[in-house]
Amino acid sequence: MEQRDAQSLADILSVAPWMELEEYVDHLRERVDTAVLASHERREQLRAEILAENPDLSAQIRRPPLEKTQWAKHLLRTGVVAASDGTLAAVPLLSGTKIQVGVVIVTNTGESVGLVTRVFEHELTTTGDTAREFFDNLRKVHGTSNLASRALMLFGERKLLLAQEADWRMIHGELIPFELRTGVGHPGGNLPPVFDLVRHYIKDQRFIAVSESPEDLDVLNAGIVLEPGEFIELRTLADDLTGFLDGDERSGGTKALFNRMDQANFRSFIAEVGPEVTILLIKAGHRPFLLECHRERVEEAAALFLADALWTRGLPDTGAPATARGFPFHIDLADNVARTMFKGGEFRTFIETRLMELGVEHGLTDLDPRRTRG
């Protein structure tokens, strides 16, 4: 059955009604194959259409020069490249949230790979002179604990990586992720350390920050026209941070809830560092990734991304359509080690075990009811 654009729930159910399991399974493969092939065909059509409508776009698409590619491989063989990633485990309790952050830094000296591990454990607690104050504050702690926990992890990853001696550094995610931009409820106190950290990275210049591309139509359009091994400059960090501060109607982003002084400080920071960081869209395989780097190191950063995503894995450094990942090897390695050494489930299980051993009745009060399912 040909599907039309769905405008309402009734439209969706008219083309995809509820059915018996046996009937559903009978033609599942046929329906999935049809959808996948249509998606592949549509991607090629969109690429040709976009390039035809934007003839100047082809001139903006680049590949790293051969000498930069050779430089990147030489760096990975003989230099020191460091990458970091972390994990977060949060367990809510009556008194607050118990969190564990694990960060792993991978260093490659060309001859050996080293690991640096750091663990942070803390309880985001609440206080109050009366029961009403306690529970009012507890609501605030639980409401912001996820943001605060992630901000602690992301700041720790970047701070610990910066302290590591290296020729180049690789960050997983944006240079200034959303959690660090917000100031976590206290911009006046929390933003200055973030600003200082970013200034150090920009002063050094030798970094890349790699993140998955967002659901941004402009980014998706650009990603379609790129072939493996190609990149295009999208915008600057100033554009991104201004969109965060003032809001972005195109992406649906709302403006930051800063007071006048915090807003002025943030805008001053944008003017200082924003133009220094270029944001690229780059492909090693079929999937595009966003890469942030210093504006004077664009070709080096793109070459290092491709060399580590492809050449380090034994793939052609000019681009490999067959690769499933197309992401820097050393960031993936840091991620795999972090998830192996700091398993969130093990931390939660340890907390739950201590809850029960220190008092079954009190333990059941703190324990998430979903965890008691048989």
Determine phi and psi for 99, rounding to 5 degrees: -125, 150
Top pLDDT among 66 and 3 is at 66
The closest alpha carbon to 106, from 325, 307, 335, belongs to 335
Reply yes or no on whether the pLDDT at 214 is more than 70. Answer: no
Specify the range with the lowest mean pLDDT, choosing from 101-105, 125-129, 247-251, 296-300: 125-129
Position 257, amino acid:
L
List 124's β-bridge partners, or say none: 97
- Cβ neighbours, 10 Å, residue 269: 20
In the sheet that holds 96-108, the strands lie side by side as 113-125, 96-108, 81-93, 168-172, 207-212, 288-294, 277-283, 231-236
Per-residue confidence (pLDDT) for residue 1, from 0 to 100:
44
Per-residue confidence (pLDDT) for residue 365, from 0 to 100:
52
Maximum CA extent, the chain: 71
Per-residue confidence (pLDDT) for residue 126, from 0 to 100:
57
Reply yes or no on whether the pLDDT at 129 is more than 80. Answer: no
Per-residue confidence (pLDDT) for residue 138, from 0 to 100:
53
CB 123 within 8 A of CB 97: yes
Residue 290: strand, helix, or coil: strand
Q: Write down the number of H helices and E strands in the chain.
A: 15, 8
CA distance 235 to 250: 15
Reply yes or no on whether the pLDDT at 286 is more than 50. Answer: yes
Side-chain-side CA neighbours of residue 367 (13 Å):
21
Quick one: tokens of 5?
């654009």
Per-residue confidence (pLDDT) for residue 221, from 0 to 100:
67
Specify the range with the lowest mean pLDDT, choosing from 77-86, 128-137, 153-162: 128-137
CA distance 307 to 75: 10
What integer is the mean pLDDT of 339-344? 82
Q: What is the pLDDT of residues 164-199, one digit of tens each?
A: 999 999 999 999 999 999 998 889 999 999 999 999
Per-residue confidence (pLDDT) for residue 265, from 0 to 100:
95
What Å distances lie between residue 364 and 123, 142, 360, CA to CA? 19, 19, 6
* pLDDT-derived band at 66, boundaries 50, 70, 90: very high
Per-residue confidence (pLDDT) for residue 134, from 0 to 100:
52
Reply yes or no on whether the pLDDT at 369 is more than 90. Answer: no
What residue has token string 């009190």?
A: 362
The closest alpha carbon to 204, from 139, 277, 143, belongs to 277
CA distance 246 to 267: 10
What integer is the mean pLDDT of 255-266? 91
Specify the range with the lowest mean pLDDT, choosing from 78-87, 264-273, 352-361: 352-361
Per-residue confidence (pLDDT) for residue 16, from 0 to 100:
77
DSSP state of 274: G
Burial class (CB in 10 A: 0-12, 13-18, 19+), 104: buried
Best-predicted range by mean pLDDT among 35-44, 98-107, 121-130, 311-320? 98-107
Top pLDDT among 132 and 161 is at 161
Per-residue confidence (pLDDT) for residue 207, from 0 to 100:
98
Reply yes or no on whether the pLDDT at 103 is more than 80. Answer: yes
Instruction: Provide, rounded to the nearest whole percent, the portion of the chain with pLDDT above 90.
Output: 44
The closest alpha carbon to 103, from 92, 112, 114, 115, belongs to 115
* pLDDT-derived band at 257, boundaries 50, 70, 90: confident
Reply yes or no on whether the pLDDT at 128 is more than 70. Answer: no
The per-residue DSSP string of 90-134 comes to: EEEETTEEEEEEEEEEEEE-SS-EEEEEEEEEEEEE---SSHHHH
* pLDDT-derived band at 370, boundaries 50, 70, 90: low
Quick one: tokens of 73?
């491989």
* pLDDT-derived band at 363, boundaries 50, 70, 90: very low
Top pLDDT among 175 and 11 is at 175
- Cβ neighbours, 10 Å, residue 81: 27
Per-residue confidence (pLDDT) for residue 52, from 0 to 100:
81
- Cβ neighbours, 10 Å, residue 193: 12
Top pLDDT among 345 and 295 is at 295
Helix 237-246 crosses helix 260-273 at what angle (to 10 degrees)?
A: 170
Top pLDDT among 139 and 343 is at 343
Top pLDDT among 243 and 222 is at 243
Q: What is the mean pLDDT of the chain?
A: 84
* Region of residue 252 (left: phi > 0; alpha: psi -120 to 50; beta: else): left
